[in-house]
Chains A and B, each alone.
Chain A
Amino acid sequence: MESSYETALELDLPRAMLERATSAGEWNLILPVVIALMAGALLAMIRHSRGSQVGFSVLAVLAIIAVELDLFFQVLELGPVAMTMGNWLPPFGISFVADTMSVSFALAASLVTLVVLIYFQAEIVPREVRHGFYPLVLLLLAGVTGAFLTGDLFNLYVWFEVMLIASFGLLIIGGRKMQLDAAIKYGFLNFLATTFFLVGLGYMYGLIGTLNMADIALVAGQADPAPMTAVAALFLLAFGMKAAAFPVNAWLPASYHTPDAAVSALFGGLLTKVGVYALLRIMVALMPASRELFDPLLTGIAVLTLILAPMGAIAQTNLRRAIGFLVIGGIGAVFAGISVPNVLGIAGAVFYAFHSMLTMSAFYLVAGLVERVTQATDTRHMGGVYAANSLISILFIVLVFAAAGLPPFLGFWPKMLIVEATISQQDWILMSAVLINSLLTSIAGSRLWAHIFWRPGRDGANSEVPNDHLRELNSTEKRMALSAVCVLVGFIVILGLLPNLLFNAANFSAMDLLNPQSYITSTGIETGTSLTGETQ
């Protein structure tokens, strides 16, 4: 190996490989994914022993959070860091790149996973544990983290599929009929979306001969714009489907309410945000010319998603289906940010996606608690929970305000950024859509609150008669589920009151996305290369 490398040097061939091994310190970039994958594999082996799996999976997620925190502060201080696999130089080796946006999303994802793992202790079903709940959760986290940290388009596709197959498993793990029905719709549509993504990246490789993201950012502008637009359209469709933006959102309200609440929370927090992340990374940072072309379309998607999604939530009687529509409404806000191409808009989109990961997971978890207390999934059969358990009602209303974007909760700050951005572009339609979304979301949320908590009885003539179907939370549910949700909601409230760190992170992310120079430099790719290979 060594001698062949020396021969290559003598022959004066262009450098394609690194001369030294990557130092151990730089491995923290790949560690989150490695830990999650290894832990997933180990958990699959010990999936029959129920007790050890809990501790082991929580330890693994804690280790991932520790590594990601280290990475987060490193990235905030030094800018993006990168690592290329197998000693190859980019674009030949597969790169992993961490910038502020990817690390903060990965951090939010593992925090949500930790809370969900603890919450699951309250609704644990031995059969589901035997069928591999814990390994699937860890593999889902591996897929999501890999998608956030990778710097290579084909690798992104592979992580999408890792995430997809793990989510299939989690979606049907209870084996209820409703879950099978939901999994058919979820499975087919998401599989189609990743196939579109695959077509797009195949075309892209044919056009510009590279799939390394930093390299694409360098050369995408020089490619023939017409076929590049087709590629961008395919990406927009694929990631729009993944993110559940308006015309292609049907799979989300059809599936997210069918599994256990813990699984719903994991999906609501993580899956759609990966689509959003890919849109931000690819449309904004890598193909800005094509994004500009799609601006009217992006604005249209944003306006329609913003307004129609909360209206869907108002029309629902099933609690978790209604929350599914609120998740989609948040995607509209992110699209609004993406369609305003300045630092404010992009920072708002990044910030909103981060907020939505935490808030929507917490929302599903609280919904799971409500379902446990009322023993119903339909809001018509709920009522009187305020008297029975006022803590849940406080958690719920805080999350409604956070999702609607009312101050001082976390959702307010990104919405403020997005509205400021639309004002700076004088895009009054988009601005009113964002504000109407807030209004409609708070209407939908407070309607749910009034039906579940405020009125004493269930729907119909006897809504004033106290609900006799309520039950107390047992001690496990209080100790595990309720406290886990309280911690998550407390985290959301504190972040909402002290948003400075997130503001900074969102600003850094937006600047890195709009001017990917530091991202490109971090990978060590030669700047100044062009499609024809002549250095400029």
Chain B
Amino acid sequence: MNKNNILLYSGILIFGIAAPFLFPAFKVQLSILCVLIVLATTWNIQGGEMGYNSFGNILFYGLGMYLCASVQVGMFFPLAEWTESGGEKTFVHTPAQFFQGMAVGLIVAAVVPTIVAGLIGYSILGLRGHYFAICTLGLGVAAGEISGGIEIIGAGQGFTTPPFPDVGSLESRGEFFYFLSFFVLILTFIAVRGIYTTRFKLILNAIRDNEDKAEAMGIQTMKYKIVGWMISAFFCGLAGGIMGGLVGYIDSTDVAFDGREMGVFMVLMAILGGKGTLWGPIIGATVFHIFKEGFWTFFLGWQYVALGVLIVVIVIYFPEGIMGWLREKYPERFGEVVDEKDRKAQVELK
């Protein structure tokens, strides 16, 4: 790590800590941004680095959301009665109960999706290419449809997460969720950055480039694929748990297993920023979130139309993303040695 990097990281850290006080009106948006970055970065582990383009990470996100909220409620009150009472506040969490429940809930929300990913990984990750993409798409939708039929977590009418307790000022809810999501973001970044410096990342890249050859070289590809997916699932579950508390209301197909929104967003953000890079998904998520919020506010009602057009445009015209474009423009910055003669010859050819 050189001097520039330390400056950059500490700058971002200071900005991150100061952000909720600088822009108090945007606290919820900033927390959502953190969650989006976490989702895009972890999608990139198996989507970008491993080459397994999944539409199904929404499964872990939704699972984490439901688990966190159910644990938080179920630790202190009967879950069935809670969901039956709907939005009415029959039971009230004390602050201690709320934070205790949230902590345990988040742990469960991270661990269980990881286990689920490990269990289904062996059968699902054997699929290649588009079969994998469609299969995971099916998984996400099936999870949404099935959870919409289960009574104890609210079925079709939704599930209200515990309301934030009365501590400190009115601002404390936003600050709590912001710092929670920012903490998870830092955790994710450190973990992913650590992973990207190891041999593990090289193996994932080998799987992406040519899985059969990687296997022939003696790499147990299945093991690494499952571990890669489990890492994704871990952070997706965490992000889902936080998002559930932040939104305050869980619906099976519109909030939790929302393949039409969040499930596509994570793919889109990673592609927009540049697949297979560390900073790509982060930049992509930030740009996407700013664009989305601007558009959602000014063209209310047309957002899905815009989303559809955006997907088509990004996929057709920017499949390499922002980082890919930068890399082509300034290859020296990315540590690539460019032969000037060769470059000139290429320009002449064009």
- A and B associate: no
Q: Which residues of B contact A (CB under 8 A)?
A: none
Q: Which residues of A contact B (CB under 8 A)?
A: none
